[in-house]
Structure 1
Amino acid sequence: MEFQDVVRRRRMVRSFTDEPVSDESVRRIMRNALRGPSAGFSQGQAFLVLRGEELARFYEYVRLWTFESVKTAPVVVIAFSVKEAYLDRYAQPDKGWTDRSEDHWPVPFWHIDTGMAVLLILQTAVDEGLGAVYFGIGADDFDKVREAFGVPADHEPIGAVAIGHGAEETTTGGTSAWTRKRRPFEEAVHFGRW
């Protein structure tokens, strides 16, 4: 598929068939996730891929922040950002900071880079002919997820992506998809000055 087709077709799919996703597709999606930008090549992202019984356990521990129909997706990927990897990396001699202070960071690049990896997951799912939806995980559920799946304490879940074969060709979106339109290009993009 051409890249522009991937971008144009990417949308949040909230209803899935029970058709399984091939291991080959899952591995390609995850390999692409690792190709995202990473400040200083800190590589402070990690992913937990859940299927089958593990996925059922996930839904026992986590309040779903999207449509119940998302639970029919056969794969969920939890994306984690690892702030410590960035603080450690930028305290190394080639980066010029002598400490691990968060004050050096104008924005949390660990979350931004992980978000970019999530977008690669969403785009690669489209390229594989699959549907996907990103959904949040409530902060109250972070420790439950870590404990249930043996995730290190310094890994912060920034959300999850459900992946599967979309049940419908048309948008099944929430109220936002029905009531809101994309902002016009001219309102969002400014050249030279605002």
Structure 2
Amino acid sequence: MEFQTLIENRRSVRKYSSHTNVTKEQIQQLVQAALEAPSWKNTETGRYYCVLSEDMSQKLRKECLCYANNDVKTEHAALIVTTFVHNRAGFQTDGTPDNEIENGWGCYDLGLQNENLILKATELGLSTLIMGLRDGDKIREMLSIPESETIVSVIAVGKADEEPSRPRRRELEDVLKFY
């Protein structure tokens, strides 16, 4: 698929088919694509925790994604919790920050990785929903995520059972300035 078509066809999906399961191999392809993203000093601080088990997925949805009906929106989808190792991207080896953004660079790098992940999902015929409304403390406990990692989002991955329309995007002149 041509890249421009790929990015224009990607949608956030809030209803997934019960007839298709995401495989471990597909998740591996998504995370491999994520790892191709650039990162601060090639620190590659992004981490991924994938829930494929139906029992564990149901528990995580019920206990950790109850905000904004995310538990309902992600039924029948695999769940990927995304984190980054803090105090590495944007920092010197002695721990001093390289600039005022500090751990913001870890979040930025993870965003670049997650974009690759969701575009790869689209290429594979899968759909995604990135969620920031979640109970990070419960997720950390449930998946044994170390305190050294910042939990950023949960990404639902599955086969869409809906076809969302393409939202209107801003015009270039509203967001672009030349000097």
Structure 1 contact 137–158 (Cα < 8 Å) conserved: no
Which residue matches 2:107? 111
Runs of 4+ in 1 over 3 A off after TM superposition: 63-69
Residue 86 (structure 1) aligned with residue 89 (structure 2): yes
Residue 189 (structure 1) aligned with residue 166 (structure 2): no
Alignment of 1:53-64 (within 5 A): 53-64=55-66
Give the counterpart letter for 1:80 in structure 2: T
Kindly name which structure, 1 or 2, has the bigger radius of gyration based on alpha carbons.
Answer: 1
Which residue matches 1:72? 75
Residue 8 (structure 1) aligned with residue 21 (structure 2): no
Matches of 2:154 and 2:51 in 1, distance apart?
10
Q: Could you tell me the TM-score, scaled by structure 2's length?
A: 0.87
Give the counterpart letter for 1:143 in structure 2: D
Aligned residues: 174
SS state of the match for residue 76, structure 1? strand
Question: 181-190 vs 43-52, which deviates more?
Answer: 181-190
C-alpha distance after superposition, 1:90-127 (max 9, x if no partner): 22xxxxxxx3123x333210000011111111111110
C-alpha distance after superposition, 1:118-153 (max 9, x if no partner): 111111111011111101144xx2222111111111
Matches of 2:81 and 2:137 in 1, distance apart?
13
- Gap regions ≥5 residues in structure 1: 92-98
SS state of the match for residue 81, structure 1? strand
Distance change >3 Å, CA 85–CA 73, structure 1 → 2: farther
SS state of the match for residue 83, structure 2? strand
Matches of 1:60 and 1:119 in 2, distance apart?
26
Q: Which has the higher helix share?
A: 1
Matches of 1:151 and 1:78 in 2, distance apart?
10
Matches of 1:54 and 1:85 in 2, distance apart?
31
Matches of 1:165 and 1:158 in 2, distance apart?
23
Deviation at 1:66, TM superposition (A): 4.2
- Give the share of equivalent positions with the same residue, in percent: 21
Matches of 1:65 and 1:127 in 2, distance apart?
29
- Gap regions ≥5 residues in structure 2: none
Distance change >3 Å, CA 63–CA 22, structure 1 → 2: closer
Q: Could you tell me the TM-score, scaled by structure 1's length?
A: 0.81
Deviation at 1:64, TM superposition (A): 3.4
Distance change >3 Å, CA 158–CA 7, structure 1 → 2: same
Structure 1 contact 14–67 (Cα < 8 Å) conserved: no
Residue 101 (structure 1) aligned with residue 101 (structure 2): no
